[in-house]
Homo-oligomer: A and B are copies of this chain.
């Protein structure tokens, strides 16, 4: 059985996107659009973790958190908040809680969710070690090696590679990659992706077979050459 996450956001698009990303990674997911709704669903769904938008139509996310605390003391919460609401504005962080500022990339969000679950000891078998062929990644130390040789990656390169490692062999579309690795409202030139694929290949391939295959007109896949 996998961990359950309740997503509370009044923007259906956002709730949807987050929900898809999480269920893709094997989490059980339910969504709620209002504070009331959230409080209702907590009883039946019994999530291990709650993703909670700070701004909700009927009440502040914090109020939800407080009422929650009264009932189901120990469910950790990750708050979703706009970037300009500074960190200290996020009051009421209990032990185990965390927050993420919008806009975020789905990769980042999923990473936070895993981290909080691990921290609060509610995580299932954790996949901290990701491997494919002779490529290894440790998501706790952020170390990456190929055939034993250490590889230095920048943050973006790292998150891109991690998304590939979580979806090996599968063909990932440009859109999918941009949505997951970049911030979800990234509006810039889609060719960044190609640049980063190029960076990754340059760093990974000197130690062996090419691993990132181009599927022309569709996307990219992490797989061994044929």
Contacts and interface: CB of A to CB of B under 8 A. Distances in A.
Interface of A: 12-13, 15-16, 19-20, 31, 93-96, 119, 140-143, 150, 152, 154-155, 169-171, 215-218, 221, 223, 226
Given A95-B31, A119-B20, A217-B155, A223 B12 contact: no
B150 A170 contact: no
A15 B171 contact: no
Contact of A142 (B19, B143, B221): B221
B140 A93 contact: no
Q: How often does this chain occur in the complex, in copies?
A: 2
B170 A140 contact: yes
25 contacts: A12-B93, A13-B93, A13-B95, A15-B95, A16-B94, A19-B95, A20-B119, A31-B95, A140-B170, A140-B171, A141-B170, A141-B171, A141-B221, A142-B171, A142-B218, A142-B221, A143-B169, A150-B226, A152-B226, A154-B216, A154-B217, A155-B215, A155-B216, A155-B217, A155-B218
B95 A12 contact: yes
Contacts of A16: 94-96
A76 to B, nearest CB: 11
**What are the 10 closest A-B residue pairs judged by CB atoms, nearest first?**
A155-B217, A16-B95, A141-B169, A142-B171, A12-B95, A150-B226, A12-B94, A140-B170, A141-B170, A142-B215
Contacts of A226: 150, 152
Given A141-B221, A142-B221, 13 more contacts: A12-B95, A13-B95, A16-B96, A19-B95, A140-B170, A141-B171, A143-B169, A152-B226, A154-B216, A154-B217, A155-B215, A155-B216, A155-B217
Nearest to A217: B155
A160 to B, nearest CB: 14
A208 B157 CA distance: 30
Contacts of A142: 171, 215, 218, 221
Contacts of A12: 93-95
A120 to B, nearest CB: 10
Nearest to A19: B95
Nearest to A169: B141
